C-alpha cells in the first residue's frame, strides 16, 4: 500500500477474491500480495507481534534496543471472519479504533 497505519490492507479467502479485487484497481497500480498464516502462534488466544529495534553497522556489529514490546489484537483469533481486522491485524492504528464493549 502507499499508506501506513493499516490503511489499504485487505484479507481474502481465495485467489478468486484477490483476482476480483485486482481487476478493480487501475492499470499500473502497485500491490503487495502475501500468503496469510492460518495457524499463527497465539498469545492468550490472540494474534501478536513483537517489535524489536535492531541496527547493524557497516562492520556487521549488531545493536539491539532493550525496550522491545509486544502488540496483540483486541479480538480472539478465529478464521470465521477473515475480514475482521481487529482479529487479524495487530497494528495499533487499527486496534485503537475498536469500540470497547
> Grid coordinates in use for 44?
492468550
Residue by residue, pLDDT tens for the chain (101 residues) are 456 666 677 888 888 988 888 888 877 778 888 888 889 999 999 999 999 999 999 999 999 999 999 999 999 999 998 888 888 888 877 787 877 76
Q: Looking at residue 1, what is its pLDDT? A: 44
Contact 33, 25 (CB under 8 A): no
User: For position 45, what pLDDT does the model report?
Assistant: 96
Amino acid at each position: 500500500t502507499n499508506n501506513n497505519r493499516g490503511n489499504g490492507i485487505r484479507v481474502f479467502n481465495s485467489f478468486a477474491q484477490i483476482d476480483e479485487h485486482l481487476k478493480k484497481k487501475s492499470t499500473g497500480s502497485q500491490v503487495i500480495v502475501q500468503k496469510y498464516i492460518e495457524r499463527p502462534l497465539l498469545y492468550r488466544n490472540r494474534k501478536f507481534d513483537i517489535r524489536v529495534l535492531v541496527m547493524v553497522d557497516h562492520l556487521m556489529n549488531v545493536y539491539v534496543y532493550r525496550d522491545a514490546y509486544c502488540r496483540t489484537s483486541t479480538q480472539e483469533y478465529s478464521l470465521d471472519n477473515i475480514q475482521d481486522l481487529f482479529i487479524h491485524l495487530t497494528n495499533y492504528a487499527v486496534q485503537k479504533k475498536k469500540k470497547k464493549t
